[in-house]
Amino acid sequence: MAPFEAIYRVGRDILERLVNPLRADEQISQFTLSVPEAQTTTVDSVQGERFRPPAVFRCPNCDADIHQQQPLSDADCPKCYRTFDQWTTDDLELVRMTCPRCESEMKHGRRHPKVFDGPEWASCPSCQYHWDLDHWF
Ligand SMILES: [Zn+2]
Ligand SMILES: [Zn+2]
């Protein structure tokens, strides 16, 4: 990991800890309500690790993008052919998550950075598709 990446990660963790963990949800619902078209559109919301949207991770070995279509499957690096299982991908740097409905890049985040390494929620800014890990209910 390059030094600036480490600094970025630490800064981001501190920021996330300062922000009330529930803020992300509030922002999403407020955003949804403030968009008039959203009321006529079905808002998809799915929970559970099995339904996590397709994600792209950074290969720690060669910096290539690793596409993981299924959250509970292995992911192979297309460049150096290293294989990462479903548990190792949580330790990889998440580059982006893709909306399974409209293929937009999703916003994503964590609510408990000390507990989970992977993303805990993702929300599509285009079609309001929302995914939640839902470990806490
Ligand atoms: Zn690689
Ligand atoms: Zn979408």
Please, which residues have CB less than 5 A from ligand 2, an ion? 99, 101-102, 104, 124, 126-127, 129
Q: Which ligand is in closest contact with the Cα of 41?
A: 2
| Extents of the domains making up the chain | 3-132
Ligand 1 geometric centre to CA of 67 (Å): 11
Q: Which residue has the tokens 């009330």?
A: 20
Ligand 2 center to 48 CA (angstroms): 18
Where does residue 16 fall: left (phi above 0), alpha (psi -120 to 50 degrees), or beta otherwise?
alpha
Beta bridge partners of 96: 56
Cα 72 to ligand 1 centroid, rounded to whole Å: 19
Residue 66, classed as helix, strand or coil, is strand
Q: Identify the residue whose tokens are 């600036």.
A: 4
On whether the pTM is more than 0.95, the answer is: no
pLDDT in tens, the chain (137 residues): 566 676 667 667 766 666 555 555 555 554 444 444 444 455 678 999 889 999 999 999 999 999 988 888 889 999 999 999 877 777 889 999 999 999 999 999 988 877 777 789 999 999 999 999 875 54
